[in-house]
Amino acid sequence: MALVDHQPEALADLDAVLDRARAVVDPRLWSLATQRIEHTVADGPEPDAPVNESEAAVCAVVEQMLIDVAVLDDTTVRRAADALGGGALADLVMASYVYEASTRLRVAGSRLLGAGT
Q: Could you give the residue ranges of the DSSP H alpha helices within 43-84? A: 53-68, 74-84
> Using 50, 70 and 90 to split pLDDT, how confident is the model at 1?
confident
Residue 1 lies in a domain: no
Instruction: Give every CB contact of residue 107 below 8 A, 6+ residues apart in sequence.
Output: 41, 42
**What pTM was computed for the model?**
0.90
> Using 50, 70 and 90 to split pLDDT, how confident is the model at 6?
confident
Residue 107 lies in a domain: yes
Domain count along the chain: 1
Residue 2 lies in a domain: no
Residue 105 lies in a domain: yes
Expressed as residue numbers, the domain containing 16 is 8-113
Amino acid at 66: L
Per-residue model confidence as pLDDT tens digits over 58-116? 999 999 999 999 999 999 999 999 999 989 999 999 999 999 999 999 898 888 877 65
Q: For residues 77 and 61, is the Cβ–Cβ distance under 8 A?
A: yes
CA gap 58, 80 in Å, rounded:
5
Residue 97 lies in a domain: yes
Note the pLDDT of residue 116. 54
